[in-house]
Chains A and B, each alone.
Chain A
Amino acid sequence: MEELMKILKELRPEVDFEKEDKLIDNGVLDSFDLVALVGEINEVFGVEVEFEDMEPENFNSAKSMYAMIERLENEV
């Protein structure tokens, strides 16, 4: 989780990722943020986030992103 928080803070320092749970629904992260974020997640965690995973519920909060990463790690 720490690594993910580091990526998120680097991407958007002004956002409180601990509290925010509607990052996509409220438009806090846009599509360009998402693509950059996925690139970082793939590299740091060694997973492959694919088109099928590009759903708001997977990116609305740091917690949901981490859950998705764990799911993908288990699939490898």
Chain B
Amino acid sequence: MTINSLGFLLFYTALVIIYFLPFMKRFQWMLLLIASVSFYYLAGSNNFIYIIAATIATYIGANLLEKKTQKQTEYLAENKANMTRPEIKTYKESIKKEKHNILVWSIVVILGILIVVKYGRFIAGNLDRILPMANLSDLTFFRLAAPLGISYYTLMSIGYLMDVSKGKCQCEKNILKTGLFLLYFPQITQGPIGRFTDMAGNLFGQHEFSYERFSYGCQRILWGFFKKMVIADRMKPMVDAIFDNYQNYSGFSIFLGCMYFAIQLYADFSGYTDIVSGFSGILGIELMENFRRPFFSTSLAEYWRRWHISLSTWFRDYLFYPLSLSSPAVKLGRVGKKILSPRVAKLVPSLYAMFIVWFATGLWHDASWRYILWGVCNGVIMISSMCLEPQFNWIKGKLHIANDNKIWRVFQMVRTFLIISMLKVFPMAVSTKGSFALIGKIFADFHIEFTKAACFPELGNNDFVAIIIGLVIFFYVSVRQEQGPMHERINKHSFPVRWVMYLALLLMLVTFGVFGTEMTGGFEYAQY
């Protein structure tokens, strides 16, 4: 069962009816837990061992961390007056070390599960290349199947533990509530990667039915389905046609395919986020925003602040900051000061952290070298643009280009979109070798050809019309969203005007959307 199946709509309708029954208020979180376990099972995952293990490790780790914090507070409240400043410092350091050990061991268990089930095959395969006699790939231990959502709930769990360790939030005393946080059905398959600090209040709180929330939720669901079914699902056959048989296409068609895939993936993933945010919002639980019109970005760094926000901010807060403030980064910064210009030397700790973060981001997406390369390429482009910023500014000055020049901004957006599209050669190939073959084709066999077969392969006339109409509406709405929240603008209209808009969108969805037995296929990002 996927969230865009008829089965899910029935499941969700039944849940909403029971959820808002007057006597259910106190039990809403329990109902959500039952619904989440059921959804996890119905979504095809009958192996609960990993998520149970992650929940137990998270629960124990968080509670032990909080106990240490409490111990410190109580001890200092009692003894601080009789202690010297160095004694207080030494005591705090010892507690900090204990907390650090608890945190590390909790993360080792939680991350260990992810490493074994998601990366076991990849690690064994690479070790076998170095030591062919070992034959590690044949061991069952390295052939386990990764359960649904493990990449997402692992990050949520680690983020929560780090927040408890920091004292940013209190730990959850009920293990079932910890389980609900990790398993909450709207975000288990492909995020957003929620934060405990943002979610706990709503997730475990009591909610009355709100027409306002219901109306906004339905708007988002409708808009999400529109993006998914009219744009993403209509474009998918064309993208698949190009990359399944790339040998038959020129570099020009392959590069167009990369651009199409960038748009398809955005419509698919942001459509999914809108749908689950709508479903969750109706229940009174806000999910983290995952997208902010990424194709309006003027640089790759800005793109990553607007695309898959819950992932990029997770890596920023829980990996980039600890790494850039770590002693290796500080030491590198000191070395940098001796040999580099002051400006670049200041960037050294960030660059060191950034390289590791992008390596990890690539690896998080998939256990393959092509995804690691994709991550590293993202990092290298951003690091280069940071280091070369003065040179770019000098050229801009010589060309008399002002920062607020509209043509310049459009150029920057197009340039960023082309870079993002080019990087799609990594996820679109089936292997690392395949990625290089695509790059080779794009550069060695590039000849512009304005025929339907070259520009829109395997695309029927109806698909073409649907995609164009869909993209025009998508672009218009995105421009308006840049100017302010769309739902506030819609709500200012009178009741009949609002309903004409909803019905028009629904009509377009029914007319142009792709319907199958399960309404549509799965979502692209669920594979990660």
Contact = CB atoms under 8 A, between A and B. Distances in A.
Interface of A: 27, 30-32, 34-36, 38-40, 42, 49-52, 54-55, 75-76
Complex A-B, nearest 8 residue pairs according to Cβ-Cβ distance, in ascending order: A36-B346, A35-B324, A54-B321, A35-B350, A51-B322, A32-B350, A52-B166, A31-B316
A55 B168 CA distance: 9
Contact of B347 (A32, A50, A76): A32
B281 interface: no
Contact of A39 (B301, B305, B346, B386): B346
Nearest to A38: B325
Interface of B: 89, 92, 166-168, 301, 305, 316-317, 320-322, 324-325, 330, 333, 346-347, 349-350, 353, 386
Contacts of A55: 166, 168
Contacts of A54: 317, 321, 325
B350 A31 contact: yes
Q: What does DSSP make chain A's interface, helix, strand, loop or mixed?
A: helix
A75 B89 contact: yes
Contacts of B305: 27
Contacts of B333: 39
Nearest to B167: A52
A42 B330 CA distance: 10
Given A31-B316, A31-B321, A36-B347, A51 B166 contact: yes
Given A31-B320, A32-B386, A51 B347 contact: no
Contacts of A50: 325
A8 B320 CA distance: 21
Contacts of B347: 32, 36
> Which has the most chain B C-beta neighbours within 10 Å: A36, A49, A55, A76?
A36
Contacts of B167: 52
> Which has the most chain B C-beta neighbours within 10 Å: A27, A32, A35?
A35
B379 to A, nearest CB: 13
Given A35-B349, A36-B347, A39-B349, A49 B316 contact: no
Nearest to A32: B350
A39 to B, nearest CB: 6
Given A51-B321, A51-B322, 9 more contacts: A31-B316, A32-B386, A35-B350, A39-B330, A42-B330, A49-B325, A52-B166, A75-B89, A76-B89
Nearest to B324: A35
A50 B295 CA distance: 35
B275 to A, nearest CB: 28
B469 to A, nearest CB: 34
A32 B386 CA distance: 10
